Amino acid sequence: MNADYLRLRERLAEVQDLGSAQALLEWDQRTMMPARGSAARAEALATVVKLGFERFASDEVGALLDALGPWAEALPYDSDEASLVRVTRREYDKARRVPVTLKAEIARTAAIAGDAWIEARKASDYAAFRPHLERIVALRREYAACLAARGTDPYDALLDDYEPGFTAAAAARMFEALKVGLVPLLGRIRERAGALDEGVLAGRFPADRQRAFCLDVMRAIGFDDDGFRLDVSAHPFETRMAAGDVRMTTRYDEGRLADALFGCIHELGHGLYESGVDPALARTPLDHGTSMGIHESQSRLWENVVGRGLPFWRFFYPRLQQAFPEPFAGLSLERFWRAINAVRPSLIRVEADEVTYNLHVLLRFELERALIGGDLAPADLPAEWNARMREYLGVEVPDDRRGVLQDIHWSQGDFGYFPTYTLGNVIASQLWERATAEVPGLEAAIEAGDFAPLRRWLHAAIHHHGAKFTGEELLARVTGRGADPAPYLAYLDAKFAAVYGG
Ligand code: ZN
């Protein structure tokens, strides 16, 4: 084996370890840390980020990459070695363009802004959060300016961190294509709004019994108690320290079963992806899911295509009836299934149905692009938010808690992340189309509670590769084309004709 390559891998393993330490500090902050730990945690995080960054963006790593370039290019494109050098080169070149002080300042500010967001959201007090948002927008604009090529949209530089190669223009085209299909579909659904009754889902669902049922479902899908954890946090998320150490969170609303249940299935989709990365890639920059669009395709596929599907509930509904006789014992599967798929424009993105969900994302995409482009001041954000909610979804926002303060992303400086949710929906349908074509009896297996065929297909097609390929490359390898909204729109049309049909 090439000695420079081994040296590079050693260096990168240390960087990866610091990344795991960072993930653990962040996980702890969101799940366990008492409130007064906030300021000290922000400093600890900034230091860990700085150390990782200095190790990674070092002259030594640069020299190793230079020396390894010709060697790696002669190897097969999809080999671990060529992929490691190629992906590291791309990340290294980006990292070298951002001053380490700016990186650390973003981490420190995000840690403080995240805690401020939790308090502001609780109190529905946008004014308390605004200075934090102003600071983080300014830092992200500075960051984008380090990376954006002259004359390009600075927002593209931020998108690239989550979905390499994806651009604001491509995202705008995707949303346009979706609007053309979604608006008439929503119209047809509105005409048949009386066809189903969401009220049948009302009940009292104690948190401990919700947790037990969620774990029952997740274990059947692939949650493994030796490799996963499930805890509670204000905003559900999934993170990982290693393929064998996946942390998921949820939150329980005792009046609504659906939030935690579908939230857990969603985060498990992320977790399965992370836990399925080839062990040969451990402690390298390839040891994680490749892009947020692909990541969201995994969570959305399990949550919506599988988890809100009729075959899935043919298996799980009797168990649900047993776990919560009230209100489900006397309710038919059919009425239950239609109710969990009810379409109703609403205030909260993470609780939105499959049809209106992308309109929530579109609104955020437009607003954050304007914030980063300098076309919208944080002071004007709530008014713009509320106006677009009215225009796109026809709902009035009663307070900022259920409006502009509902998502954690902006407090973390995660601008450019939201469009990957919709991209994930689009890709999920493309993958489902391939999976059902390639795996005979896939739906019958799901109906029998056997999720291994789908899990195995996803593992071989997606999970196993880690970050060796970009999202775009991976999608082309699996489907032979790029992101295409057509299968997603066809899926929604067929599904909601059934949900709202006679
Ligand atoms: Zn997700």
Ligand 1 center from residue 297 Cα (angstroms): 8
- Round to whole Å and give the CA distance between 241 and 27: 10
- Round to whole Å and give the CA distance between 73 and 82: 6
Percent of the chain past pLDDT 90, that is, above it, reads 92
Both 226 and 132 in one domain: the answer is no
Both 271 and 233 in one domain: the answer is yes
Both 101 and 184 in one domain: the answer is no
271-326 confidence digits (pLDDT tens) = 999 999 999 999 999 999 999 999 999 999 999 999 999 999 999 999 999 999 99
Percent of the chain past pLDDT 70, that is, above it, reads 100
Instruction: Specify the pLDDT at position 235.
Output: 83
Cβ(347)–Cβ(403) under 8 Å? yes
Answer whether residue 42 shows pLDDT above 80: yes
Both 315 and 441 in one domain: the answer is yes
Both 38 and 92 in one domain: the answer is yes
- Of 124-138, 187-201, 251-265, 388-402, the range with the lowest mean pLDDT is 187-201
Cβ neighbours for 492, distance < 8 A, ≥ 6 positions apart:
181, 182, 185, 354, 355
Both 175 and 128 in one domain: the answer is no
Both 40 and 80 in one domain: the answer is yes
Contacts 24+ apart (CB under 8 A), 187-192: 188/496, 188/500, 189/343, 189/355, 189/496, 189/500, 192/500
Both 220 and 340 in one domain: the answer is yes
Quote the mean pLDDT of the chain.
Answer: 95
Answer whether residue 111 shows pLDDT above 70: yes
Instruction: Specify the pLDDT at position 351.
Output: 85
Once rounded to an integer, what is the mean pLDDT over residues 217-223?
A: 98
Q: Nearest 5°: CA angle at 46, between 43 and 50?
A: 140
Task: Please list the helix, strand and coil fractions of the chain in percent, rounded to the nearest 5, in that order.
Answer: 70, 5, 25
Ligand 1 center from residue 425 Cα (angstroms): 10
Ligand 1 center from residue 304 Cα (angstroms): 12
Which residues partner with 230 through β-bridges?
248
Ligand 1 center from residue 467 Cα (angstroms): 17
Instruction: Look at residue 386 and tell me if it is in a domain.
Output: yes
- Round to whole Å and give the CA distance between 428 and 269: 11
Both 265 and 360 in one domain: the answer is yes
Ligand 1 center from residue 461 Cα (angstroms): 19
Instruction: Look at residue 285 and tell me if it is in a domain.
Output: yes
Instruction: Look at residue 232 and tell me if it is in a domain.
Output: yes
Number of domains in the chain: 2
Question: Considering 147, 181, 210, which residue would you say is the last residue of a domain?
Answer: 147
Instruction: Look at residue 161 and tell me if it is in a domain.
Output: no
Burial class of 11 by CB neighbour count within 10 A (0 to 12, 13 to 18, 19+)? middle
Ligand 1 center from residue 414 Cα (angstroms): 13
Per-residue 3-state assignment (H helix, E strand, C coil) for 306-340: HCCCHHHHHHHHHHHHHHCHHHHCCCCHHHHHHHH
Both 212 and 69 in one domain: the answer is no
Ligand 1 center from residue 357 Cα (angstroms): 13
Answer whether residue 220 shows pLDDT above 80: yes
Residue 267 annotated as catalytic: yes
Query: How far is the CA of 118 from the CAs of 111, 122, 129, 237, in angstroms?
Result: 11, 6, 9, 15
Question: Considering 83, 112, 147, which residue would you say is the last residue of a domain?
Answer: 147
Q: Find how far residue 287's CA is from the centre of its chain.
A: 17
354 phi and psi, to 5 degrees?
Answer: -65, -30
Instruction: Look at residue 154 and tell me if it is in a domain.
Output: no
DSSP output for 359-425:
HHHHHHHHHHHHHHHTSS-GGGHHHHHHHHIIIII-----SGGGTTTS-SGGGGT-TT-THHHHHHH
- Round to whole Å and give the CA distance between 334 and 341: 11
143-161 confidence digits (pLDDT tens) = 999 998 877 899 999 999 9
Cβ(371)–Cβ(378) under 8 Å? yes
Ligand 1 center from residue 251 Cα (angstroms): 14
Both 67 and 207 in one domain: the answer is no
Q: At what angle do helices 381-388 and 126-147 cross, to 10 degrees?
A: 90
Ligand 1 center from residue 262 Cα (angstroms): 11
Answer whether residue 90 shows pLDDT above 90: yes
Answer whether residue 502 shows pLDDT above 60: no
Structure tokens, 126: 């946008």
Answer whether residue 24 shows pLDDT above 90: yes
Cβ(390)–Cβ(347) under 8 Å? no
Ligand 1 center from residue 326 Cα (angstroms): 30
Instruction: Specify the pLDDT at position 245.
Output: 97
Query: Which of the following is catalytic: 105, 238, 267, 366?
Result: 267
Return the CATH number at 365.
1.10.1370.30
433-487 confidence digits (pLDDT tens) = 999 999 999 999 999 999 999 999 999 999 999 999 999 999 999 999 999 999 9
Q: Which domain holds residue 347?
A: 168-499
Highest mean pLDDT among 98-112, 186-200, 215-229: 215-229
Size (the chain), residues: 502
Q: How far apart are the first and last CA of the chain?
A: 65
Instruction: Look at residue 163 and tell me if it is in a domain.
Output: no
Ligand 1 center from residue 299 Cα (angstroms): 6
Ligand 1 center from residue 7 Cα (angstroms): 35
Ligand 1 center from residue 292 Cα (angstroms): 8
Structure tokens, 184: 């008439």
Instruction: Look at residue 67 and tell me if it is in a domain.
Output: yes
Both 125 and 172 in one domain: the answer is no
Question: Considering 147, 176, 209, which residue would you say is the last residue of a domain?
Answer: 147
- Round to whole Å and give the CA distance between 215 and 219: 6
pTM of the shown model: 0.93
- Round to whole Å and give the CA distance between 291 and 331: 41
Instruction: Look at residue 64 and tell me if it is in a domain.
Output: yes
Contacts 24+ apart (CB under 8 A), 207-210: 207/252, 207/254, 209/323, 209/324, 210/252, 210/254, 210/257, 210/260, 210/261
Ligand 1 center from residue 289 Cα (angstroms): 12
252 pLDDT band, cuts 50/70/90, is: very high
How many CA atoms does the CB half-sphere of 437 hold within 13 Å? 8
- Of 93-107, 211-225, 393-407, the range with the lowest mean pLDDT is 93-107
465-474 confidence digits (pLDDT tens) = 999 999 999 9
Ligand 1 center from residue 91 Cα (angstroms): 23
DSSP state of 149: P
